[in-house]
């Protein structure tokens, strides 16, 4: 089998090592061969933005031999060599605060000037140094320069939890990036990537000449693997993975599609996250690779500080204006933040709107796990409820399931989540009371966070059940009612009657039915009925 390019982001190294390269050069050709020459694209982390930048670097450096056999080699691309100024903003040091950012920018400019043999003449301001490099490089080579900026927003996104400091650094970067427009006459091509969308009031307020490809359907699959690319380029790895799981290739593809596919950046095309897929093909385990690759504590702290639940963002309607320009990531509402970071993606496109949802099971389970761990961590100690839940479900023990749920409910400071429930209800047409929604959402996040296949509000022809849980091929139908006036038994009976009358279990063989009543004062399951 061909090697997996795990850890490789430089196009030249991937081609030299004969590792798998998913050919995107047909799409790249559409970008570089048109009349417009200034571009920007935003995508979440670990989606191949850096590889794209290095591919463009090699292309404009005229390294034709690296592209032999790829789609662009069959086009009329001229293969002319241009001087390339490659700015990797992920290397900007932020631990030293504002001064650290300034010093690193100066250091980076000096390094690029030395590499291109450009004399900066004692300049010390990052913006003027960048302008000097662009102008002198163009004059030295007798042709305009190509400028590539990777992760333009990394310096200020590192401070997204500190809006004041983030704005200071944003101002520094605004003065820096404005030189890219001021020196357009000396540039052949400009390409910028980042996680966050740019806003007219943000870093790009003076750089309004960029063609934003982020939502353009023509470039919806530029980054990420399509279903067709996965089966074409990883055929041998799919076969090996299927053998490892003891299933057919078709069955494995379905598992992967259900678990990892679903990122959508234009409302139409769905793609896999490359990092997750490469990690899967490396060990063949259905794990949550992407969210574990960095930033989980930051996301967990963000959710906890704002009392956020998982369900409140699902199906949230947003306008196309939101998708195009959702605002600065460090000061925007949570749905804007999660959308730009990749935890929420676009669904249901219309002429002027979308809805938001989690891209796939991997991201949904990962977010649920963060919420679950937030709920059950106190004074730095984590209460492990996952193990007893898995054992109880596997053994089909109703009493143990209820006991584990009560331990969960007892561990949660519910006052912290009431505001989140109220906020979520404003965004939906959910018919539940705030308390019932809150309990259902909490238990749902708990099951998903434990890696258990769980669905909320599962519809059939008669209605929708609160929870459908499937573990070891055993389906559980769970209905929740809230008891307020010492009527726990009546509420449990009402929940079971609802399961039976509306036949929530009809689509499933040998489904276990569990009706629970949660006392709103004690916040415990005080009565339950199982069939």
DSSP 311-380: GGGTTEEEEHHHHH----TTTS-HHHHHHHHTSSEEES--SSEEEEE-SSHHHHHHHHHHHHHHHTEETT
Report if residue 17 sits inside a domain. yes
269 and 384 fall within a common domain? no
52 and 166 fall within a common domain? yes
Number of domains in the chain: 3
Apex CA 246: angle with CA 245 and CA 252, to 5°?
A: 55
Report if residue 387 sits inside a domain. yes
400 and 509 fall within a common domain? yes
Report if residue 328 sits inside a domain. no
Residue 218 burial (CB count, 10 A): 11
210 and 236 fall within a common domain? no
User: Phi first, then psi: what are they for 329, rounded to 5°?
Assistant: -65, -25
409 and 445 fall within a common domain? yes
198: which DSSP letter?
A: P
The whole-model pTM stands at 0.86
19 and 46 fall within a common domain? yes
Domain boundary among 269, 287, 305: 287
Residue 200: per-residue pLDDT: 46
Report if residue 400 sits inside a domain. yes
CA-wise closest residue to 408 among 460, 443, 361: 443
Cα–Cα distance, 16 to 57 (Å, whole number): 15
In tens digits, what is the pLDDT along the chain, a chain of 531 residues?
899 999 899 999 999 998 999 999 999 999 999 889 999 999 988 999 999 999 999 999 999 999 999 999 999 999 999 999 999 999 999 989 899 999 999 999 999 999 999 999 999 999 999 999 999 999 999 999 999 999 998 998 888 778 888 889 988 998 899 999 999 999 999 999 998 875 544 666 666 778 999 999 999 999 999 999 999 999 999 999 999 999 999 999 999 999 999 999 998 999 999 999 999 999 999 988 987 776 666 677 777 777 777 877 888 899 988 888 787 766 778 888 888 888 899 999 998 999 999 999 999 888 888 878 777 776 656 678 889 999 999 999 999 999 999 998 887 765 555 555 554 544 444 444 556 777 888 898 889 888 898 988 776 667 788 899 999 889 999 999 999 888 999 999 999 999 999 999 988 988 999 999 999 888 899 999 999
Residue 207: per-residue pLDDT: 67
Residue 430: per-residue pLDDT: 47
Report if residue 108 sits inside a domain. yes
Domain holding 402, by residue range, is 362-530
373 and 242 fall within a common domain? no
């Amino acid at each position: 089998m061909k090697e997996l390019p795990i850890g490789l982001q430089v196009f030249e190294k991937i081609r030299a090592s004969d590792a798998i390269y998913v050919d995107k050069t047909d799409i790249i050709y559409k970008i570089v061969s048109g009349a417009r020459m200034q571009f920007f694209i935003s995508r979440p982390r670990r989606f191949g933005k850096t590889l794209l930048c290095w591919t463009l670097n090699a292309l404009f450096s005229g390294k034709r031999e690296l592209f032999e056999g790829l789609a662009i080699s069959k086009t009329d691309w001229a293969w002319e060599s241009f001087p390339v100024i490659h700015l990797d903003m992920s290397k900007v040091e932020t631990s030293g605060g504002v001064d650290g950012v300034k010093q690193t920018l100066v250091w980076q400019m000096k390094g690029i000037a030395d590499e291109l043999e450009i004399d900066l003449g004692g300049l010390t301001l990052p913006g003027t140094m960048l302008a000097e490099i662009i102008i002198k490089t163009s004059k030295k080579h007798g042709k305009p320069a190509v400028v590539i900026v990777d992760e333009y927003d990394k310096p200020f996104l590192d401070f997204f939890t500190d809006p004041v400091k983030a704005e200071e650094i944003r101002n520094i970067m605004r003065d820096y990036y404005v030189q890219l427009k001021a020196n357009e006459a000396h540039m052949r091509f400009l390409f910028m990537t980042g996680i966050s969308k740019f806003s007219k009031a943000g870093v790009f307020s003076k750089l309004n000449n960029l063609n934003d490809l982020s939502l353009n359907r023509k470039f919806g699959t530029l980054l990420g693997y399509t279903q067709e690319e996965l089966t074409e380029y990883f055929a041998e790895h799919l076969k090996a993975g299927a053998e490892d799981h003891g299933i057919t290739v078709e069955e494995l593809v379905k598992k992967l599609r259900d678990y990892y596919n679903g990122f959508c950046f234009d409302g139409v095309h769905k793609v896999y996250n490359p990092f997750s897929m490469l990690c899967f093909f490396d060990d063949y385990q259905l794990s949550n690779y992407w969210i574990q690759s960095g930033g989980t504590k930051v996301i967990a702290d963000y959710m906890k500080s704002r009392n956020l639940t998982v369900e409140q963002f699902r199906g949230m309607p947003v306008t196309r204006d939101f998708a195009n320009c959702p605002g600065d990531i460090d000061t925007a509402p949570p749905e804007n933040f999660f959308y730009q970071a990749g935890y929420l993606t676009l669904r249901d496109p219309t002429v002027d709107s979308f809805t938001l949802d989690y891209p796939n099971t991997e991201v949904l389970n990962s977010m649920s796990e963060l919420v679950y761990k937030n709920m059950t961590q106190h004074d730095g100690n984590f209460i492990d409820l996952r193990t007893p839940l898995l054992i109880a479900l596997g053994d089909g023990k109703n009493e143990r399931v209820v006991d584990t749920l009560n331990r969960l409910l007892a561990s949660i400071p519910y006052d912290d989540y009431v505001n989140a429930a109220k906020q979520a209800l404003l965004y939906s047409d959910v018919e539940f009371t705030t308390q019932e929604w809150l309990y259902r959402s909490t238990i749902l996040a708990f099951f998903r966070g434990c890696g258990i296949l769980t669905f909320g509000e599962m519809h059939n022809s008669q209605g929708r059940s609160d929870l459908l849980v499937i573990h070891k091929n055993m389906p559980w139908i769970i209905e929740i009612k809230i008891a307020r006036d010492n009527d726990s038994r009546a509420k449990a009976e009402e929940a079971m009657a609802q399961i039976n009358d509306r036949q929530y279990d009809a689509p499933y063989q040998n489904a276990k039915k569990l009706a629970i009543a949660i006392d709103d004062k004690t916040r415990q399951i005080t009565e339950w009925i199982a069939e």
